[in-house]
Structure 1
């Protein structure tokens, strides 16, 4: 299913004092190409410095007897969407990297485990996360193009590396459309998510959408207490009035 792009951040957020603030983005990673798995990536951006925390699981575990390398990137500069199944133009049952590019755009930053994070490192299997699950944490410098895509709401996280067993026979035997020396499965997208800006502060800090909950609950409790106290005072006044009435009743 295609994912609509997030609402763009106002232009003022990309320049001047606003650009020096820390802005938090999140992408929920959902499977493509008949694959399994899911994940969540959080990116905290201050100027061009990004602190990234990512968790995913359920991907292919091994490739040719070794831990499966899952290339991953921030793409951008296009429609800011994850590609729908209809993006498969050649009918092999797989949305390849090339077929998905009109939706999520070219690589703008590589999410490697070490070293190079430029687009040129985008197909370097040696520095890609490996295995069926990952706990990825890294602080990197984003490219100017990636920062621009984030601020425009069109940055997309794409994790690559399909499980060949879940592909049709035709696709299972095809070569990669971007690195012909590799199988199609290795470079085709497996997880995808649009990076969307989170409310300032975020729910985890208590300053997001639930920040006022404690104050609201306190106000409700205070109001309820005041009502009960008022009711008690009224009852006592009524009792005194009845006693006085009885005491001064004519014989």
Structure 2
């Protein structure tokens, strides 16, 4: 009788905690984290540098085979758009940059200014051939937007096990902007710091979308790689609140155990 009563109290004490976990929203993260379904990830690409570009990237893993599908719009019509998967396979946490990355305040977040935020190239999303960092500026093998500024891309690649293990720490960036709206890349914003033969417009990021970052995916092994090493603003309110629920649940179970012990003692 005592055992059944104690079990009933334990079950009742666990109900509020279970309801709290069930109704608690997903952990918050800066930007637009990907939604995951099995080994597939959907990434929302949102505009950078006032480009108006946007789209959706689908990343699907089958072992070490990665299929990437991208549908984007608002890009510079008729122009090639370099695109990459950026980020770290060592557990470091990177994010899509915001306007504060524009260090020289010329109105454009260049690739060089954005790299401290979104990390180096991990995979070049070319249409054929090499997909390493070395093909990052292979504009002749990058997809071209149609006359309406739309771009469709699909390719299946073989990736390293490190990419598989840290897929949630990576994100997609497309490049190529047209700030003077003349429908082509020109040197109005100067030369690209990546290749002086290319205009800045051709290499500046146009949009970016994050997969689940290290704060909700794998734990960062070296802090935030922005030079400061600070983790301020990375802590997830959801995780912190979730910890509070866990503590409350633990306290409830401890209370039940104490009552059970007290009842058994009284029965003796």
**TM-score, normalising length: structure 1:** 0.63
Which structure 2 residues correspond to residues 55-70 of structure 1 after superposition, within 5 A?
55-61=71-77, 67-70=78-81
Q: Residue 234 of structure 1 aligns with which residue?
A: none
Q: What is the alpha-carbon distance in structure 2 between the residues aligned to residue 42 and residue 6 of structure 1?
A: 9
Q: Which moved more, 1:91-100 or 1:140-149?
A: 140-149
Shift of 1:6: 6.8
Which structure 2 residues correspond to residues 125-140 of structure 1 after superposition, within 5 A?
125-131=139-145, 132-140=149-157
Shift of 1:79: 2.9
Q: Tell me if 1:118 matches 2:132.
A: yes
What is the aligned counterpart of 2:159 among 118, 142, 157?
142
Q: Residue 18 of structure 1 aligns with which residue?
A: none
Q: Residue 29 of structure 1 aligns with which residue?
A: 45
2:82–2:139 Cα contact (<8 Å) kept: yes
Q: What is the alpha-carbon distance in structure 1 between the residues aligned to residue 162 and residue 200 of structure 2?
A: 27
What is the aligned counterpart of 2:95 among 81, 85, 99?
81
- Partner SS state of residue 156, structure 1: strand
CA change 1:190–1:145 in 2 (3 A) is: farther
Deviations 1:203-241 (A, max 9, x none): xxxxxxxxxxxxxxxxxxxxxxxxxxxxxxxxxxxxxxx
**TM-score, normalising length: structure 2:** 0.59
The structure with the largest alpha-carbon Rg is 1
Deviations 1:24-71 (A, max 9, x none): 11210011001112100001012221112110011111xxxxx31100
Q: What is the alpha-carbon distance in structure 2 between the residues aligned to residue 143 and residue 183 of structure 1?
A: 32
Q: Residue 105 of structure 2 aligns with which residue?
A: 91
- Please report the RMSD computed on the Cα atoms of aligned residues, expressed in angstroms: 2.5
Gaps of 5+ in 1: 10-21, 62-66, 198-251
Q: Residue 41 of structure 1 aligns with which residue?
A: 57
Q: What is the alpha-carbon distance in structure 2 between the residues aligned to residue 180 and residue 91 of structure 1?
A: 20
Higher RCO structure (Cα 8 Å, ≥6 apart): 2
Q: Residue 202 of structure 2 aligns with which residue?
A: 186
CA change 1:46–1:123 in 2 (3 A) is: same
